[in-house]
Structure 1
Amino acid sequence: MANHTQDNLSELKLRPPLKTRIKKQKYLLLMLLPGLVYYAIFKYIPLLGLGLSFTDYGFRAKISFVGLDNFRRLLSSSIFWNAFKNTMIISLANIVFYFPAPIIVALLVNELKSTKAKRLIQFLIYIPYFFSWVVVGSIFVNLLSPSSGLINNIITKFGGKPVYFMASAHHFRSILVSSYIWRQMGYGAVIYIAALTTIPPELYEAATIDGAGHWGKLLYVTLPSIRTTIVTMLLLNLSHVLMIFEQVLVMYNAAVYDVADVLQTYVFREGLLAGDIGYSIAVGMFTSLISLVLVMSTNKASSKFLDEPIL
């Protein structure tokens, strides 16, 4: 015990002063500064306004305290619960269908022997991530246009009738999920490809000696080696699972409100368009609490089944 304490004291003595460390890493800290400013302005400072959820702010010049009335109102609102249901359905579909996609793509790219082919495919699948949702929405609207869209042209050539995909309650959620996968898949795949490069070749050599085939190496070497990355990515996806906004806002219309209206678009309409700021903040708080529960549950499951918490 005494030796351990002495080692700690020696380490503290050898560590340079804080001022020296800051000066030595000043360029790294400067690179970090824009991110810190962004989070301070758009993530932390707005938390000061959470108290407005207990007021009628937005309707009157003089703000009055209304207690839990805004929360009672949202819990009794059929529009809110419909938005909540749509958010959960779309988010769950995004996770179920999107989450394995970049893993599969990364594994396939990793099998390529040509370095040039790997770089080309990574470049091609990563490009859509740089498109804003406005651009992505325009691409899908043009592709699915009933008069000039590529998809409907193919349908009519085979004798079918044009389908109004963007105004169809039956098809719209599938369009949202498909566009989400197309835009986000490259970003996730690049992260998994980077994780695959860290796997020691010796593990594959040992697996070959033990008689493991291609699938055996995948199941017992590759996937276990990147499981921490997989769980981390799942946690990141769950952290904003209820925050779908821009994608839906630029793609939905009145014909598909019943199946496309989500919590964030509901907040947008109630807060910025209708002016009921206090109520919209209450809905936002409820959404954040549900997201927190999902993240903490995933972290607890990771601790239990993988013996390594992410947070």
Structure 2
Amino acid sequence: MVAQAIPKILVTGKNGQVGFELQRSLAVLGEVIAVDREECDLSNPAAIRELVQRIRPDIIVNPAAHTAVDKAESEIELATALNATAPQVFAEEAARLGALLIHYSTDYVFDGNKDGWYVETDTPNPRSVYGKTKLAGELAVAAANPRYLIFRTSWVFGAHGGNFLKTMLKLMQTRDALSVVADQFGAPTAASLLADVTAQIIAQYLRSTDKASFAYGTYHLVASGETSWHGYASLVNEIAEQQGYTLKISSQDINAIPASDYPVPAPRPANSRLNTQKLQTTFGLTLPSWQHSVGQVMTLLKQA
């Protein structure tokens, strides 16, 4: 019997929230080659092509992006390079190798005006530079390589890197009161959850005997349930109290405000609720609640 070759998995953005977790989750599936901007400048298409052609990966996982949503409004060229052009180049090079490309996108491809939960077939209508460039990346990936998976997610947080949860936790230890937006809704999603689900789906891909008919396409991938930013902050406060943090505020000191009271350069979708039924049914997965993930990450932060 011929020994099966160990798959090579190229991961971008290794120091980002998701890239950091992917190195852990994918290690059992193959040889993981993780890069950051020092090893490959993703704003340079030639550097991307050289990287892929040199490594010749079987799978490319691309969480790297320009995610500074407000900065993107004034950094249109860089946001376009990282969020649209780079995914296209990865997709083109993956297609040449017959490799699978996994790319992450965002709730910001929608305008947030829908009453219910967004499904994958809803028409995107991004309102920000970030959303527009991420949508351009989605379209470029789908056009360049039939072997792709796009995972749209929202409100990403983790023990590694900067995020809303860690900001709130710090402010709760130093401020007497907080005002948090209460009229935008979505699902806080742990970077570790994204990485673990990605690993499970890659495992299914590697086991499949007919790669041509694998369930490629675009999927929504977020934790189950929904909340507002105010509800999210309130849970962080509640768990922090349970875990023995020294806090200056309690839940009644967290004021609920409308988004109109907190103007920012990039418009946020009021409704970021993403329906994940397609992903759960297709791959036989059950996604945990956002509350469970918040508790897990806060336990890790407390132990650190």
Higher helix residue share = 1
Normalising by structure 2, report the TM-score.
0.22
Q: Larger RCO: Structure 1 or Structure 2 (Cα < 8 Å, ≥ 6 residues apart)?
A: 1
TM-score norm. by structure 1 comes to: 0.22
Q: Kindly indicate which of the two structures has a greater share of residues assigned to strand.
A: 2
Question: Whose Rg is larger?
Answer: 1
